[in-house]
Amino acid sequence: MMKEDFSSIAFLDYFSDIEDPRLDRHKLYPLNEIFLTILCAKICDAESWEDIQDFGEAKIEFLKQYLPYENGIPSHDTFSRVFSLINPKQFKICLVV
* Confidence band for 90, pLDDT divided at 50, 70 and 90: confident
Question: Rounded to two decimals, what is the model's pTM?
Answer: 0.81
Residue 72, SS3? coil
Q: What percent of the chain has pLDDT over 70?
A: 88
- pLDDT of 92 > 60? The answer is yes
Residue 8 CA to residue 4 CA, distance in Å, equals 6
Q: Is 76 exposed, middle or buried (0-12, 13-18, 19+ CB in 10 A)?
A: middle
Q: What integer is the mean pLDDT of 5-19?
A: 68
pLDDT tens sequence across 64-84:
999 999 999 999 999 999 989
Between CA 72 and CA 35 the distance in angstroms is 14
Cα–Cα distance between 9 and 5 in angstroms, integer?
Answer: 8
